[in-house]
Amino acid sequence: MRSRQRMFAAVMRLLLKCLRLGRRRRFKLVRQVEQLWHYGHLCLRSLLYNSFTNGDVVLDSLFEPVYWLVDHVTRWFGVVFVALVIGLTSSIVAIVYICLLPLILQTYTPAWICWHLAYGHWNLIMIVFHYYMAITTSPGHPPQAKNDLTGVSICRKCIAPKPARTHHCSICNRCVLKMDHHCPWLNNCVGHYNHRYFFSFCLFMTMGCIYCSISGWEMFRDAYAAIERMKLLEKERLQVAANQTYYQTPPPTFSFRQRAFHKSVVYLWVLCSSVALALGALTLWHAALITRGETSIERHINRKERQRLQKKGKVFRNPYSYGSWDNWKVFLGVDVPRHWLTRVLLPSPHLPHGTGLSWDLPPCVTEQRAPLLAI
């Protein structure tokens, strides 16, 4: 009996010893896996650590392939966009000359004819001039000789000093003076030397589209009604052709010239109205920026700076803003009153104030600029 108890106790001790050994081995394996995990995590953080890294940097890094694709597509398709602008504008002008102008000369009074001819041709000249100057004028770049260049920061892409209001364009792969944005419809950057041409083109193109939409509203309604009659008569003609007898006469058909005329009028009105809405909104947006003395890029920078200083109880004031009226005078290059006619209402290739490298007080500004920070 005692021998059996001793044997049972020995077996139980052996079993408990095996269980303890298994637990120790299992716990040891878990500890090894945890140590490897912490070691790998520490190595990864040490390789990728940056004190400036935050969520925005990570998001930008993830979207970098998308940015690269957009930049290259915009660069290669810029010529296509320019050709599209020229083609659509030329088609509208051709429709006006071929279809609408003879009708205007036949039905309008001499006074209205003179007004339409004068305004229409003036608006067309301003559109063509400013678009040509916007796509052919360089926006301005910092000089290659960097010895005498005063820079407020260093461009991370060019590894060169950047003057104030200068930014790097990833599509052109160059720094641009007073950069506003890269416009694919111009296949060019909008910067210091062609910003006025870009805005003037947007303004006069919007005015031209509004003019065509308002002037052609009645013609559009008549043309649209005529097209609906065409469809109805075409359906009746097919029905008559299917059940034709000797005593039935098919309805009259419209000629090719009539169809082309009505469809051209509808195309003109729809295109001009759409462009007037889209381009008009863009023009108003840039007009608001010009009024505040900002560019599209500077608006985002100034907004962040304004929020940062607001937390400190300070007020941010744009150092490049001279007041609403003076901002427009500086932007348009109006130094004397006659310049409103010769430089704004007529085509003018005059240069903007300054070189884009430094921003001294323009002579047309009547008030001193506000300080950068105010408490």
Q: Which residues of 3-19 are buried (b: 16+ CB within 10 A; e: fewer)?
A: eeeeeeeeeeeeeeeee
> By three-state DSSP, how is residue 167 classified?
strand
Contact 309, 315 (CB under 8 A): yes
Q: What pLDDT was estimated at residue 313?
A: 86
In whole angstroms, give the CA distance from residue 359 to residue 164. Answer: 8
Domain with 287 in it: 62-201+278-357
pTM of the model: 0.77
Contact 331, 366 (CB under 8 A): no
- How many structural domains comprise the chain? 1
> By three-state DSSP, how is residue 2 classified?
helix
Residue 272: active-site member: no
Q: What pLDDT was estimated at residue 103?
A: 85
In whole angstroms, give the CA distance from residue 288 to residue 299. Answer: 11
Decide if 364 is inside a domain: no
Decide if 211 is inside a domain: no
Decide if 192 is inside a domain: yes
In whole angstroms, give the CA distance from residue 144 to residue 56. Answer: 32
Q: What pLDDT was estimated at residue 356?
A: 86
Which residues lie below 8 Å from residue 103, measured CB to CB, with a gap of 6+?
Answer: 219
Decide if 240 is inside a domain: no
Decide if 296 is inside a domain: yes
Task: Report the candidate in 151, 39, 130 with the shortest Cα–Cα distance to residue 85.
Answer: 130
> Which residue is catalytic, options 169, 175, 183, 202?
183
Q: What pLDDT was estimated at residue 44?
A: 73
Decide if 272 is inside a domain: no
Q: What pLDDT was estimated at residue 373?
A: 39
Residue with token string 């390789």? 47
Distances (CA, A) of 107 to 100, 254, 267, 322: 11, 23, 22, 50
Decide if 90 is inside a domain: yes
Series of mean pLDDT values for 10-residue runs along the chain (375 residues): 64 63 61 79 70 64 66 76 95 92 88 93 97 95 71 78 88 90 92 96 97 91 86 71 54 73 93 96 96 92 87 87 92 93 95 87 68 38
Burial bucket for residue 178 (CB in 10 Å: 0-12, 13-18, 19+): buried
Show the CA angle centred on residue 131, arms to residues 341 and 178, nearest 5°: 85
Decide if 234 is inside a domain: no
